[in-house]
A and B are shown apart, each in its own frame.
Chain A
Amino acid sequence: MALLIRHGDIVADDWVRLDAEFDTAAPLPPGKLLVPLCLWNARRAELVARDQPVGIWLASSEHPEAIVDALEDIALVAIDFPVFSDGRGYSYARVLRDTWGFAGELRAIGDVQRDQIFLMKRCGFDSFQIRADRDPTDALAGLEEFSLVYQSATVDPLPPLLQREVRRGA
């Protein structure tokens, strides 16, 4: 089972991810299923009726608006970063959290590494599937790169630096 950073710890990933090529007519495997958007759209009723949690993963070209009416039925949304330079997922996360109030697990998958996850966490991601060829223990240090921040975000909406007083004699 692959390792995952979740809520700041390294844990085993207990979800089964079905890829985008999964035959939409094939029988569903057992377990917690993380399904592509096309499978969700094709078999939503069946996925919800199972007694196991279900999640949806989105490609970076799939805007989360496509799942806004699904958020009550799912426990996990994963957003794929095909390459680290494709930053759409940072805004998708904030829309999911801030605009639509999604409170389930929000996972970054794909080209996810140490140098991005401090930022991702602030946008509302709470789990990270570190790229397979990288050490998740090393990546964990990325969550601690900075001890303070300048601006509001999904996590830490009112950081102390926004509340600084006028300095005397300034």
Chain B
Amino acid sequence: MYRYDEHDQRMLDERVRQYRGQTERFLRGELSEAEFRALRLRNGLYVQRLAPMLRIAIPYGMLASRQLRQLAHIARHFDKGYAHFTTRQNVQFNWPRLEEVPDILAELASVQMHSIQTSGNCIRNTTADQFSGVAPDEVEDARPYCELIRQWSTFHPEFNYLPRKFKIAVCGSVADRAVVRVHDIGLVIVRDAGGATGFEVIVGGGLGRTPMIGTTIREFLPAPELLGYLEAILRVYNQFGRRDHLFKSRIKILVKALGADEFRARVEREWETTRRTVPPLTAAQIERARSYFTAPPYEDIDAAACAGALAAARATSRAFDRWLQRNVGAHRVPGYAIVTLSLKRTGIAPGDVTDRQLELVADLADAYSFGEVRVTHEQNLVLADVPQPRLFELWEAVRAAGLATPNIGMLTDIICCPGGDLCSLANAKSIPVAEAIQRRFDDLDYLHDLGDIDLNISGCMNACGHHHVAQIGILGVDKKGEEFYQISLGGNQGTDAALGTILGPSFAQEDMPEVIGRILDLYVAERHGDESFLETYRRIGIEPFRKAVYGASH
């Protein structure tokens, strides 16, 4: 993964010093509440319902074991012993003290981590496919380009006071695991007829109050032109994006208002300048970025022999078999596997880990996966390079730590925001709803029979829980001071991304497991063969689900 040289480190150290100064000026009364708010917000520090919340970037989801150990240390000394992985490859602490944040930043900087631009109206952490570099269906590794975007966007002088936050995601595979079509800018690595690398550029996607699937404004952007083109898009947005209304200030609203053709024309006009002023990426720059993401020293493993041994182990342990089915994926190198550690155990808030679990995962990464871990937007962790002959012993270790729930991609692998328990923006709680659903549907045979279903929960229309792109989406709403939950069906993340359709009137919290049960019963009754939930939904439409949930008279 990327490692800072003395220049990267110096810049980060200077940032810590700057933020310490800003905090001190605020505490001395030299900065007003509002002025300091803008400064702390572009440094990931929110003041929440109960305490401040500090959001830390995990650039494109990559973590080294020593960074995990440092997060564990921070959780123990500055927080209440746990951390929360978010839906955008960030990690959050929910109980830091404002005065101690500069010290936390210094601790983070010592392991090349930071909170830069994790909030505020600026370019946020660039996210990527968590299987970059190991996926069998990969065109090219997204991470070197993500790192180049990280450097370009860090303290970009022009784009620190945008109309609104700005999120970029990059995917280098055929399957889209980075939800690029619901980002302000989504980039998909493609090859042209001559084999040159470039990007499909998708603009104006997003969730939140006005969910939209992005529009492709350029089918093929040659890779060296990447930063100049991004700069042109951002310059159009910064000048012409609305600033008069919080809910209309994302780039998706501008793209819609201008129309894709006019938006593209404006970008191309700015690009005439920026392709001149932003130097194209040189072969040396791209090579330097790539040099940090070379393959680890894989061993030659006899894949056929492993397959036999694994089959034998599966035959003796049903639980191991289930875990292999759901949590272990194919690797591009024969004899290796990609292992996802589930942070979706019933009774634990989705994405939460303790300090001890963080340390254990660090140890497992060192022992089984070249010392690296990835973080997914589904709020799970990944060991990306596990030798197949060691899967059984890894499973035993992971299971003992409570991280082996065999539910990846299933109903109980719920994406869930912190919700009304912690977040001051929330209209409703989300964690107890997730837990109630996990408790109701705890029969593994049933869950495995249901197969792939995304169920996502957001506590308000800001949609941090990505409910619009779930096959079953749940949105917390406030009705005269009471919490209710609205269900949408048929959303999807991935290459054929789609937004869900609202089922109908919302429900009280205690009714949610029963309502989800009716939806699932209808799917099971209606499915043809091994049709997935989404396939059945797309075939029969939403009306049968409405009848099943609300009765014939709806």
Contacts and interface: CB of A to CB of B under 8 A. Distances in A.
A35 B239 CA distance: 22
A23 B159 CA distance: 36
Interface string B155-167: 1111111110000
Given A147-B10, A153-B158, A161-B151, A91 B279 contact: no
Interface residues of B, number: 43
Interface stretch (A2-10, A43-51, A68-76, A117-125): A117-125
A115 B22 contact: yes
B155 A119 contact: yes
Contacts, number: 117
Contacts of A121: 157
B157 A146 contact: no
B288 interface: yes
Contact of A150 (B38, B151, B162, B274): B151
Interface string A146-164: 1111111110011011101
B210 interface: no
A162 B285 contact: yes
Given A146-B155, A161-B151, A167-B288, A90 B10 contact: no
B155 A148 contact: no
A121 B276 CA distance: 20
A113 B252 CA distance: 31
Contact of B279 (A98, A145, A146, A158): A158
B288 A94 contact: no
B248 to A, nearest CB: 15
Nearest to B238: A91
Contacts of B239: 63, 88, 91-92, 95
A146 B14 contact: yes
Best-surrounded residue of B153, B161, B276 (most CB of chain A within 10 A): B161
Interface in A62-119: 63, 84-88, 90-92, 94-95, 98-99, 113, 115-116, 118-119
Given A85-B121, A92-B239, A166-B284, A151 B277 contact: no
Interface in B124-142: none
Contact of A85 (B161, B227, B276, B279): B161
B48 interface: no
A94 B127 CA distance: 28
B158 A148 contact: no
Contacts of A161: 7, 151
B303 to A, nearest CB: 30
B110 interface: no
A170 interface: yes
Contact of B152 (A87, A94, A148, A150): A150
B312 interface: no
A80 B15 CA distance: 27
A165 B278 contact: no
A153 B14 contact: no
A15 to B, nearest CB: 25
Best-surrounded residue of B158, B159, B243 (most CB of chain A within 10 A): B158
Nearest to A90: B158
B291 A166 contact: yes
Contact of B238 (A88, A148, A154): A88
Classify the secondary structure of B's interface with A.
Answer: helix
Given A90-B238, A152-B278, A146 B11 contact: yes
A164 to B, nearest CB: 6
B498 to A, nearest CB: 34
B121 to A, nearest CB: 7
B5 A154 contact: no
Nearest to B36: A115
Contact of B277 (A91, A116, A145, A152): A152
B325 interface: no
B151 A151 contact: yes
Nearest to B22: A115
Contact of B161 (A86, A145, A148, A152): A86
B18 interface: yes
Contacts of A145: 14, 18
A166 B287 contact: yes
Contacts of A86: 161, 243
Best-surrounded residue of A87, A120, A121, A147 (most CB of chain B within 10 A): A87
A160 B279 CA distance: 13
Contacts of A146: 11, 14-15, 18, 155
Contacts of A149: 11, 155, 157
A128 B14 CA distance: 23
Interface string B172-191: 00000000000000000000
B447 interface: no
Best-surrounded residue of B153, B276, B278 (most CB of chain A within 10 A): B278
Interface string A25-52: 0000000000000000000000000000
Contacts of B217: none
A99 B121 CA distance: 25
B79 to A, nearest CB: 27
B109 interface: no
A63 B153 CA distance: 24
Contacts of A152: 277-279
A151 B243 contact: no
Contacts of A147: 10-11, 14
A85 B155 CA distance: 15
Contacts of A90: 157-161, 238
B549 interface: no
Contacts of B285: 162, 164
Counting from the closest, the 5 A-B pairs by CB-CB distance are A87-B161, A122-B157, A119-B157, A150-B151, A91-B238
Given A84-B161, A119-B158, A145-B18, 7 more contacts: A84-B35, A94-B277, A98-B276, A149-B11, A152-B278, A166-B284, A170-B288
13 contacts: A63-B239, A86-B243, A87-B159, A87-B160, A88-B239, A113-B35, A149-B157, A151-B151, A151-B152, A152-B279, A153-B158, A157-B279, A166-B287
Interface of A: 63, 84-88, 90-92, 94-95, 98-99, 113, 115-116, 118-123, 145-154, 157-158, 160-162, 164-167, 170
Interface of B: 3, 5, 7, 10-11, 14-15, 18, 22, 35, 38-39, 121, 151-163, 227, 235, 238-239, 243, 273-274, 276-279, 284-285, 287-288, 291-292
